[in-house]
Structure 1
């Protein structure tokens, strides 16, 4: 979810807007007023198509949100309670809380060091169990909680190699003098990742999920879209795990071999969860454009297998982070919301996986580029609402999740939040 993280750090619309954007913003203001006056999507109280029973209404609470919470126990509890209260007030019935962002943990783990976002410094014990309280706070308010895990990433936004503790496996393996594990972690374009080709690495990720499911009353385990980074098999600097492929003797082409590496992890996670608590669900939130997911140079997410074969996932939550009017080459983009949603529904019909839609609340009220002279996100204040209504109208979408929590209280998103959450009350 790298794009999301960057947007979260923009502090809404940039305060130093280039002069050439001023005219567009003025025009956007006119569009916004006209949109409100004409009520493009109908009355705010009109719920449109009937609400599907058990509809999920979730919000992602990322490590960026967590990082803002106080580190002392009293302050932490107050911040968590406020977060859950705001979620309920806006009609949510589920929270997707990031508990392992960068090979670290927001709880006492046998495998991963304490996260700097939990205690202020990786490896430092905050003196309490943050995840235990998050689960308690959510359930006290009737919210389901999905523990959001990033399986492979070790460094990333706000977490550099210099931030890693000596107990971090990436550091420990690099310093243990054992050449057998030197490639269990790979440096790729300045970032560190667990190597998806290594069975021992996959088992550590699986064991990390096991300890969450065994130790906490979570309702689900959730992965986002970070699997393989982009690779170039023609360059030694960018071919990532190609040496493991060459050593494997596999008869598969390298793209299918990489997909199989991810599939082995996903199946291992699913079977582990079900062996412990069959009622806990496992789902993935991949990039929203299916063409990109089927790429032979990045991600290697075997979405077609996950959606059509048993034993992989219970639900899929694609990040359909485009509006209705997204343009490409002057035409409606193939990844515009309606086009994307239609493609996902067609794939959903081939199997038994529940479909939820991930929506870009973080873009609302901003100048996020979408191929239009004035972005759709500035011209309307009911995009989220219309996206939910369209999903309901298909009878195939079982719920919605919004990125991110901070946008529930962001001033520029207030009208969008009000319009969509009116459907949930």
Structure 2
């Protein structure tokens, strides 16, 4: 029986004897020693209260660092091109690599990398031209593939790579797209543009103009683009943004284009007889469902997500009423894996928004908070992350990578002390086995780990390996502080410096599959060579 429980029982029984004992409590980070002193009844009560509060504090800290928490960053196309004012591939690759490395070292675990902006491509596309941000000219091959580089780099570091995909934006700029190969979709299909209530297409401005979600050909084009991406690239997720009608859609009557109006007024195009607003919501929902089914049919381990408006329906700027976006319906239909409401708000309003999403989405782990770091001071950002944990959300995504410059270490020290797995998945001993022949040995100032790939793995293969450590042979997945590292699923070895683990004598390893399921830990291995304090 733990010492503090013994004292508790003694107090309840009204014991009035004195204790002459040494009380020693060990945890991973706490050491308390009370040496040979007499304790009367009041002292016993005080000691029990102190010990109880201490254990409560330890448990709270463990909850403060979840084992499963998606910790993401959004890296926009402007972060790695426009803001750097260069088209030099080496410079852009260097920025991407350095940012991913900083994210890994700060214990983030996912990157949402923008590869489609306004019907242009930051990858080798069959259907849309290379972005001018890569070379200065629309359609010009830059001589390298940013998405391929991002996927390879992320996976080498044990990070997830989600393709950030601007969905309905057709163009951005006051001048139309120039001639290119492939021809830009807006040049081919100007009739796809959203129209206002008078049937007039959106005019080109410095902001986005959008394709109409109610036009079937638009949806078919987007599905082809998605299929092209997921068949060519080993991505972990497809992440939709601007998956809605444009700003002020309700006020300006978007989209009264000819095709949408004809479909709305026909039995075939509106078999349920929905009103205009509900019909427009249904166009978005239909596309989400088609995209989800497409992705899962080809690679079922790819996670489908969406960045959505930060408030569902309770403010002047909300998803449901203003831009006809209904994420709750997507969840009800089981056609989205997780949502990221962009809650770029002050702390008080941020908390109110979390409560709103928890009311409408039954599984709060399916909601990640979008945090607008660019408009917060670091104390506010820290508080917002803590609120995501208080309300048991599935994690958070920070906008954007540029805003984290100079703040990575603050996040690591205050919020991300231990590595974590992304949210979703479970312990699966049926379809996923731990690696075989796990061995640990010292080499100079390092501890080296070696293993063989698991004999049993689910479809899609290994995503990563989870290396665990502990001062005792009882190594579990319940304590995040037991995680030494999350490493690439392509590796069969890893090296760690003594300095970080010299107090830990036992090590184990788990397999993480592409569905984010985790094997049971391998049999713990003790490092035979004595480790000395540096």
TM-score, length-normalised on structure 1? 0.73
Residue in 2 aligned with 1:378? none
Q: Give a deviation string over 1:281-334, Cα, whole Å, max 9, x none.
A: 0001101111144544x3211122112222x20001111111224xxxxxxxxx
Q: Aligned residues, how many?
A: 339
Of the structure 1 ranges 298-307 and 207-216, higher mean CA displacement relative to structure 2 is found in 298-307
Contact persistence 1:219–1:280 (CA under 8 A): yes
Structure 1 residue 214, shift from structure 2 partner: 0.6
Q: Is 1:257–2:272 an aligned residue pair? A: no
Q: What are the equivalent positions in structure 2 for 1:2-401 lying under 5 Å apart?
A: 47=61, 49-67=63-81, 68=83, 70-156=86-172, 159-166=173-180, 167-174=183-190, 182-183=191-192, 187-190=201-204, 191-231=208-248, 238-241=253-256, 243-248=258-263, 249=265, 250=270, 251-291=273-313, 292-296=317-321, 298-310=322-334, 312-325=335-348, 336-349=349-362, 354-365=366-377, 381-394=378-391, 396-401=392-397
Deviations 1:17-68 (A, max 9, x none): xxxxxxxxxxxxxxxxxxxxxxxxxx9xx95734332211110000110214
| SS of 2:167 mapped into structure 1 | coil
Q: Matches of 1:79 and 1:284 in 2, distance apart?
A: 25
Distance 1:288 1:424, change over 3 A: farther
> CA–CA distance in 1 between the matches of 2:382 and 2:251?
45
Residue aligned with 1:99, SS: strand
SS in structure 2 of the partner of residue 147 of structure 1 = strand
Q: CA distance change for structure 1 residues 228 and 317 in 2, over 3 Å: closer, same or farther?
A: same
SS of corresponding position for 1:60: strand
User: How far apart, in 2, do the equivalents of 1:61 and 1:89 lie?
Assistant: 17
- The 1:342–1:239 alpha-carbon spacing in structure 2 relative to 1, beyond 3 Å, is closer
Larger Rg: 2
The answer to whether the 8 Å contact 2:112/2:239 transfers is: yes
Instruction: Output the CA distance in 2 between the equivalents of 1:47 and 1:408.
Output: 25
CA distance in structure 2 between the partners assigned to 1:282 and 1:199 by the alignment? 21
The answer to whether the 8 Å contact 1:360/1:402 transfers is yes
Q: Could you tell me how far 1:233 is from its partner in structure 2? A: 7.0
Q: Do the aligned partners of 2:308 and 2:319 also contact (CA within 8 Å) in 1?
A: no
Shift of residue 94, structure 1, vs aligned partner? 0.7
- CA displacement at 1:246 relative to structure 2: 3.0
- Between the aligned partners of 2:367 and 2:254, the Cα distance in structure 1 is 33
Identify, as 1 or 2, the structure richer in strand.
Answer: 2
The structure-2 alpha-carbon separation of the partners of 1:47 and 1:401, relative to structure 1 and needing over 3 Å to count, comes to farther
Distance 1:204-1:340 versus aligned 2 partners, 3 A rule: same
Counterpart Cα distance in 1 of 2:177 and 2:415? 39
1:313 and 1:353 in contact (8 A); partners too: no
Which stretch of structure 1 is more off in the superposition, 220-229 or 267-276? Answer: 220-229
Q: How far apart, CA to CA, are the structure 1 residues paired with 2:375 and 2:250?
A: 34
Contact 1:170–1:185 (Cα < 8 Å) also in 2: no
Distance 2:254 2:384 in 1: 39
Query: What CA distance in whole angstroms lies between the structure 2 residues aligned with 1:142 and 1:234?
Result: 45
Structure 1: state its 5+ residue gaps: 1-42, 175-181, 326-335, 366-380
2: distance between equivalents of 1:80 and 1:415? 18
Quote how far apart the aligned CAs of 1:401 are: 0.6
SS at match of 1:318: strand
Task: Measure the CA separation in 1 of the matches of 2:235 and 2:346.
Answer: 32
Q: 1:281 to 1:307 in 2, by over 3 A?
A: same
In 1, the alpha carbon distance for the partners of 2:388 and 2:193 equals: 42
User: Is this contact kept in 1: 2:80–2:92, CA < 8 A?
Assistant: no
Deviations 1:385-406 (A, max 9, x none): 2222222123x31111100100
